[in-house]
Amino acid sequence: MYIRVKRNKTTYFIQCDPTEKTLEIKQKLNGLIDQPVNDQRLILVGTGEVLEDSKSLAEQKVENDAVVALTFRKDDNEFEDVNIVRPNDFYQPRDADGANW
């Protein structure tokens, strides 16, 4: 399965297994972004639940295609708020940007 880890305007598609623990996901993220696992926090977007390092994804009801928010530890040792930017238009008809014809 895979999960979608989101922060600001970036989405990381992470391949994983239901039996994997949150910490293993953080280690995978660490390979992509230079952020130590201790400075990462993952939150399941559907429920707002903070994922615990020692628990498996299945235990925390993180399923295939789930959206998980990523936040980083700030300088003052607190974690930043969840910030996921969405595209403002769900569906934009092709002729909406008429100037491009």
Partner 1 sequence: MRKEDSVKLISAEGFEFVIHKEAAMVSQIISNMLTSPGSFAETEHREVTFPEISTTILEKICQYFYWSLQYANGKETEFPIEPELTLELIMAANYLDT
Q: How far is the CB of 69 from partner 1 (least distance, A)?
A: 15
State whether residue 40 is helix, strand or coil.
strand
Inter-CA distances, 72 with 77, 88, 91, 100, Å: 10, 24, 31, 39
Q: How far is the CB of 48 from partner 1 (least distance, A)?
A: 21
Binding residues (CB under 8 A) for partner 1: these are 1-2, 4, 9-15, 28-29, 31-32, 65, 85, 87, 89-92, 94
Q: How far is the CB of 78 from partner 1 (least distance, A)?
A: 26
